[in-house]
Structure 1
Amino acid sequence: MKRSIIIIGLLLGTYGLFAQYAEDALRYSLQYYQGSARFMAVGGAFGGLGGDFSVLSTNPGGIGVFRNSETILTPSVTNRKVTSIYDFDGTLRDDNSVVFALNNFGYVNAKRLGRGGKGWKYFQYAIGMNRLANYNTSIYMQGENQSSSRIDTYIDDAVDFLNDGGTYDELLYHDPFYVGPAWETYLLDTVSDENFTYLISPVPAGGLMQTQRIETRGSNNEWFGSVGANFNDILYVGATLGFPYIRYYRDSYYAETDVENSETFDNWSVSESLVTKGMGINFKIGAIVRPIDWIRIGAAFHTPSYYWSLTDSWYTYTTSDVYAYSLDEWVVSDYKSVIGEYNYKLTTPMRFIGDLAFIIKKFGFLSAEYEYVNYSNAKFKANDYSFATENENIKSYYTSAHNLRAGAEWRVSSLSLRAGYALYSSPYKNNLNDGARQSYSGGLGYRGKSFAIDFAYVYSKMNEDYYMYIYSDPNTGDDISPKVTNELAESSFILSFKYYFN
């Protein structure tokens, strides 16, 4: 280690305060519903039909359609392939991840009210879990950069700190996770003459092979209780009190390696580990109206989800193999940061859903669903920090999304054939990123007297730009950030088991 600096009373919230980026708010606001096999096979367009456990997290009015009590269990397996294209030289890399998950499970109780006649016919309640989002992804990116290094961003940060009156020995206090460890491992160093001491780095501004691997794990699972009722087989109403629980794990490895025989640099790397956990609360209400036998119209409103206590825990590990100017010798060194922890709050946007379904007698149905959500309304909050800059970034980067889901089912005796499509529009403003997601689905099901088995296959794809770091040419001001285009292709296999209590 370069210098021995004892950290006493370090503010562990440094990362949480100043690196709580807008993409965190987007990640926890996005919902690609992971439901039953029947629900997934028709693209998730089930809000106007009801009678499926998954709709309790989209249109709770669907609980009013249940006439029998049932229990459901839905395991799934998903293969995600991410192909990464490094913008500067076109280098292509890909990585795969396979995830076994539980899409949902729970119990619905349907109680008949009276015998025949008009009025309220059924009352229902349900408890269980639906998965709202899956965070499991593995990404491998690599390419040659001739114009900058990530260390350049550290230099800019250090220079600003020093110009504001900070000292070199305080760099570790200023940023104990990135700039400070770079100083400790000679990635940032000094040279002196008779009059001045200069900040310098042995890492060249270009001629570097840049590599980054990111592995994320976790999910957003909504635990909930729902109630509903059926009025005269014309109006179906319901409400859900949800408790979404976030578990997010991110491990990133970033490295730069010399490719032009530098006299002062061989390689350096920084590994980052982040864990985020927390629970929130929301409320959903919905209804389905059946004006005539073959048409159903639905609508639902979701309040914002309020996460009252999200906790980030993180650390970094930096290594270097460089020439140390201040020692006048080559050194190999490493530095593991302290473990940081920070608690904060997040409010994600409200949602509006509209549904339309056509019932084709007892042979099947056609259904469609529209969802509106404005991602720019997400907001961070904490007791000891305003998040003003971060919340303004959210408003600047994101916009309203218009999500469409459509599906069909055709029954032949006890067998059902299904197909669906879903389009989640880009949440980004001014084409900052693509981010639109499309899903194509199909499946089949078998229903017996007291049980049902359903299978679905879903293929999803989306493109999204990723920047290894943000940097502008100091002479021209041009953006020379290393951009990577990530192309996601995802295949999911879903199997549901239902048991009916007649």
Structure 2
Amino acid sequence: MKILLSAVLALVVAGSATGQTYSDVLRYSYFSPQGSARFAATGGSLTPMGVDATTLHTNPAGIGWNRYNMAQITPGFSFTGTSANLANSTDASSVSESAATFTLPSVGLIFAGPTRSVNWSTLNFGVSVTRLADLNQQLAFSGRTPGSIIEGFAEIIDIGDSDPYGADLALPFLIEDPATNRVYSDFYDFDNQTTRDEPISRNGLYDRRGSINEAAIGLGGNYREKVLWGFSLGIPFFSYDEVYTYEEVDDQDVIPAFENSAYNQNLNNSGTGFNLKLGLTALPTEQIRISAAVHTPTFWTIDEQFSTTFGYFYTENGSAEGGTERSPLLSQAYNLQTPWRFMFGVGALIGDRGFVSLDADYADFTSNSISFDDFATANAVSDAVNADVDAILGSSLGLRAGGEINIDPIQVRAGVGYRQVPFAEYLNNEDEAVMTYSAGAGYSLGKFFVDLAAQYQAYSSFQNPYETLAVPGQTILTDRSRVSVLLSVGFRGFGTGL
């Protein structure tokens, strides 16, 4: 286990030296569309059923069934709550935070174009913008545990690495021993030649703001009422800001000399990318739909700014000592290639009373890859981060089931979603997953329709403020929930005689 932790530590160090780690890679590749209220209310299971602009982001063959022009806009509201526990804390404290945001999850437009062909009865054009991920979160934690972030910095220096955004800032506060060619902190017990294990107080806050959205344009058609086809070009874009503040305080005077320390990070990211999606839906009978879709990797270009500060304060010979060191401002661009995605679905009409549907998707997140030049050029830093991704991330399966019952003029909908969290087994011993529960209703009056959806999402995860070998690193166990309410308003059949 120590060899494994050493490898992980080296990989995390390499990533932190430039601002990228596996968590950044996962953030911009692990998502799913929220979509219109109808799409959300059925749990996102419309891949085989279509007739919604949001399917341009899943299975673009879905717009091939549309017979009339359609336009919709979906404003929304999300309430996010997070509870965090610092593992192995002696006071077992839990900290809860919440945040509320107004959103615009979806805007969609479909132009239905009947043709004169006997076999190719429709040729439809669609455009949609939808939210892929809500990155807003406030994650606070506190507790009393052994160890210190400066011990992690000392270990980094001891293995010969340089990190201007972490370990290098701690150098003025470490003790160098020329005899052993090592550095030591106030947390090292020289008499017993071991790291001290007395617990101290610590607290931190991750304040995250941002979202990932995607614009998609595509074509879809219908061949002899037996096969729907479609393809779309996706142009995702995002902005993300994270301010991380972390503090340690020896409020019980258990560590000689040490008083308190603080480490802060500021990360500002924005990016744009592109991908292609291809889809087919077969209609073996008038009631059954069977669908398949493939998404190419998204090729991101990401602009990043990153900076840190580290403050350390101690008492020496009765005098208060210490200070604060600041890192340089990192400003750079890099590329990220996300995994291929594969989607399959099956649905069935219930006469003219509604439908039920089930779909699944699969992606292997170890195929994520970053590059600072191009993906054919070797780079020591990107190679280390990519090795980190291979070691820590895994594959993910998503499942969604939903349906709709038509009680004219009301449509009642419900759905459920399951998505695996793609961490490798040694970091995630349990089968953690994101669960989503949805319900909603729709009302139609001629060309006008309005849909309402409520969505509840919950999952558990973890954070590691730092890694050490001598003392177990801190682990923050988190439970996150999000309640979203969406309202779609739209028109169908405009520009026609419907």
Residue identity opposite 1:344 in structure 2:
Y
Residue identity opposite 2:32 in structure 1:
Y
Aligned counterparts of 2:452 and 2:187: Cα–Cα separation in 1 = 54
* Match of residue 293 from structure 2: 300
* Match of residue 366 from structure 2: 376
Deviation (angstroms), 1:259: 2.8
CA deviations over 1:19-54 (Å, ceiling 9, x no partner): 521122222111132111110111100011100111
Aligned counterparts of 2:396 and 2:246: Cα–Cα separation in 1 = 32
User: Which residue among 327, 330, 338 is the counterpart of 1:348?
Assistant: 338
Secondary structure of the structure 2 residue equivalent to 1:84: strand
CA contact (8 A) 1:189 1:324 kept: no
User: Which residue among 248, 258, 271 is the counterpart of 2:264?
Assistant: 271
* Match of residue 392 from structure 1: 387
Name the % identity. 25
* Match of residue 225 from structure 1: 217
Residue identity opposite 1:296 in structure 2:
R
* Match of residue 3 from structure 1: none
Aligned counterparts of 1:335 and 1:15: Cα–Cα separation in 2 = 20
User: Which residue among 456, 460, 467 is the counterpart of 2:457?
Assistant: 460
Secondary structure of the structure 2 residue equivalent to 1:111: coil
| Structure 1, gaps ≥5 residues long | 1-13, 165-173, 474-478
User: Which residue among 327, 336, 341 is the counterpart of 1:337?
Assistant: 327
* Match of residue 20 from structure 1: 20
Residue identity opposite 1:136 in structure 2:
N
CA contact (8 A) 1:258 1:265 kept: yes
Deviation (angstroms), 1:109: 0.8
Deviation (angstroms), 1:238: 0.7
CA deviations over 1:450-496 (Å, ceiling 9, x no partner): 221111111111111222211122xxxxx611112101121111111
Aligned counterparts of 1:73 and 1:389: Cα–Cα separation in 2 = 43
Secondary structure of the structure 1 residue equivalent to 2:28: helix
Aligned counterparts of 1:306 and 1:454: Cα–Cα separation in 2 = 34
CA contact (8 A) 1:317 1:337 kept: yes
CA contact (8 A) 2:342 2:361 kept: yes
Q: How does 1:93-492 map to 2 (within 5 A)?
A: 93-114=95-116, 118-146=118-146, 148-161=147-160, 174-184=162-172, 186=173, 188-189=174-175, 199-202=183-186, 205=196, 206-261=198-253, 262-307=255-300, 309-323=301-315, 329-331=319-321, 333-383=323-373, 385-386=379-380, 387-430=382-425, 432-433=427-428, 434=430, 435-473=432-470, 480-492=472-484
Aligned counterparts of 1:127 and 1:53: Cα–Cα separation in 2 = 7
Secondary structure of the structure 2 residue equivalent to 1:29: coil
* Match of residue 63 from structure 1: 63
Aligned counterparts of 1:436 and 1:32: Cα–Cα separation in 2 = 14
Aligned counterparts of 1:430 and 1:334: Cα–Cα separation in 2 = 39
Secondary structure of the structure 1 residue equivalent to 2:112: strand
Aligned counterparts of 2:392 and 2:182: Cα–Cα separation in 1 = 37
Aligned counterparts of 1:219 and 1:19: Cα–Cα separation in 2 = 19
Deviation (angstroms), 1:197: 9.7
Deviation (angstroms), 1:190: 5.6
Aligned counterparts of 2:16 and 2:395: Cα–Cα separation in 1 = 27
Aligned counterparts of 1:354 and 1:292: Cα–Cα separation in 2 = 18
Question: Closer, same or farther in 2 for the Cα pair 1:254/1:118, shift >3 Å?
Answer: same
Task: Tell me the TM-score normalized by structure 2.
Answer: 0.88
| Structure 2, gaps ≥5 residues long | 1-13, 189-195
CA contact (8 A) 2:309 2:325 kept: yes
Question: Closer, same or farther in 2 for the Cα pair 1:100/1:465, shift >3 Å?
Answer: same
Residue identity opposite 1:385 in structure 2:
N
Secondary structure of the structure 1 residue equivalent to 2:459: strand
Question: Closer, same or farther in 2 for the Cα pair 1:444/1:287, shift >3 Å?
Answer: same
Task: Tell me the TM-score normalized by structure 1.
Answer: 0.87
Aligned residues: 464
CA deviations over 1:339-377 (Å, ceiling 9, x no partner): 111221111001111111110121110000011111111
CA deviations over 1:277-323 (Å, ceiling 9, x no partner): 1111110010112121111111101111111x212211112333323
Deviation (angstroms), 1:334: 2.5
